[in-house]
A = this chain, B = another copy of it.
């Protein structure tokens, strides 16, 4: 029942031979990544230098019908993108992949992440007369690469030089007329991996579950700072930026963003969530009769808590899977009604019981309060809430929408106050000490915990980007109107 959103999923394929159903393969890959972005999506196919693109606002199922997929034709390289965005219907221009024409031909980009110096880069480009059609970082990146391409012997060299300039979180898939290029920023904020199909096609994706969906065997994760180049001649790696920064994988990928069947940087997401539950059982034990999880992402943690504590696991909440994006939410009703439509309590599981309730996070706390009320109305004697993440108290600058600390309940209230507000009998958050142990690789460093502890792995912008950018527009509007004539 998490209210946070990842901002993107990316997918690319390089086939040694022209492939009739290349768009279809990307379509399947994007389906497997749909959880990473539900606002818009797109696919670009390269058929010997001729690019075909189809993209729009909407789910993969909505944007791509049989006709749209067919219209992309055949090709040997393709790239796809699913996007989350907070903006409205006018924002079609921000849907990716972005396709640009430059002096050396065409280029398509799909990007997951967020730059921290895009404002500076954008200003500099604008001062040289550049124009922007979108408000996205991706267009900034495509500009920087294009500029470098003018004096670079190849697209990959241009990408490498661009990496000296851009800062922040970026997993990129770039398509040129003859190459597919996968890039992960030196901190490795966002996941990216690749594999090979039985027929020898290379597949790059945000998560390994997308490799599985298209029948590709997982090869390995793209390394932090690595540039992987797939071309007819060879597949090779540029590693110049590989040690340019400290590792800083987003720990929240394990807790919430990624799909449980994915394996990221060698660690199973599902297992990480079981461990989160287990850690919670040790950190915050409860005297209870049943452990239940908030579907979908609290289920794994609940099972982990149950296994560790010995308290039986139960199904206490059923999610209505038919509530789609076009669902007409109750207007004049209370928030309670809205949640009731999406979640229903299995009374048998909780009636007369002391319940441990596992969720993956508490953002504003309003949804949690309703869930707790539903459980108590159904007869739960006690509700002990356990959260498989530490408290959010800071903004994220690396590609999620944890934006305004002022909205975060944990930033304003003490743990006791939160418990009281949401009506639970006890409340426990996963500790910072244990959260870094979720990936089972023996390492307890190398993760970005910025949203929890405020220590960011890179410089961060002086002020929040989106607000700033919009202000800029209207300010200039004013100025332009007053200029002397």
> Which interface residue of A149, A179, A344 has the most chain B CB atoms within 10 A?
A344
Q: Is the Cβ of B48 less than 8 Å from the Cβ of A477?
A: yes
Q: Is the Cβ of B327 less than 8 Å from the Cβ of A31?
A: yes
Given the known inter-chain contacts A88-B71, A154-B483, A315-B260, please indicate yes or no for A28 contacting B346, CB distance below 8 A.
Answer: no
- The segment from A11-19, A122-130, A163-171 that touches chain B is A122-130
Q: Is the Cβ of B347 less than 8 Å from the Cβ of A268?
A: yes
In the complex, what distance in Å separates the CA atom of A100 from the CA atom of B473?
Answer: 11
With beta carbons under 8 angstroms apart, the residue of B21, B268, B479 that contacts A105 is: B479
Oligomeric state, in copies? 4
With beta carbons under 8 angstroms apart, the residue of B49, B135, B215 that contacts A473 is: B49
Question: Hey, which chain B residues are within 8 Å of A48, CB to CB?
Answer: 474, 477-478
Question: Hey, which chain B residues are within 8 Å of A358, CB to CB?
Answer: none
User: Counting CB contacts under 8 A, is A300 at the interface?
Assistant: yes
Q: Closest B residue to A101 by CB, please name it.
A: B132
- The segment from A59-67, A279-287, A427-435 that touches chain B is A59-67
Distance to closest chain B CB from A15 (angstroms): 14
In the complex, what distance in Å separates the CA atom of A447 from the CA atom of B472?
Answer: 46
In the complex, what distance in Å separates the CA atom of A177 from the CA atom of B482?
Answer: 10
Q: Mark A61-84, 1 if CB is under 8 A from B, else 0.
A: 110111011010000000000000
Which residues of A93-119 are within 8 A (CB) of B?
A: 93, 98-106
User: Counting CB contacts under 8 A, is A388 at the interface?
Assistant: no
Question: Hey, which chain B residues are within 8 Å of A484, CB to CB?
Answer: 153-154
Given the known inter-chain contacts A69-B328, A71-B89, please indicate yes or no for A485 contacting B154, CB distance below 8 A.
Answer: yes
With beta carbons under 8 angstroms apart, the residue of B52, B101, B215, B473 that contacts A50 is: B473
User: Counting CB contacts under 8 A, is A34 at the interface?
Assistant: yes
Q: Is the Cβ of B104 less than 8 Å from the Cβ of A476?
A: yes
Question: Hey, which chain B residues are within 8 Å of A260, CB to CB?
Answer: 315, 318, 346
Q: Closest B residue to A98 by CB, please name it.
A: B133
User: Counting CB contacts under 8 A, is A24 at the interface?
Assistant: yes
User: Counting CB contacts under 8 A, is A240 at the interface?
Assistant: no
In the complex, what distance in Å separates the CA atom of A135 from the CA atom of B176?
Answer: 17
User: Counting CB contacts under 8 A, is A465 at the interface?
Assistant: no
13 other A-B residue contacts (CB within 8 Å) besides A34-B322, A231-B481: A31-B327, A50-B477, A53-B90, A99-B133, A101-B473, A105-B473, A127-B150, A154-B483, A176-B480, A212-B340, A213-B344, A260-B318, A271-B348
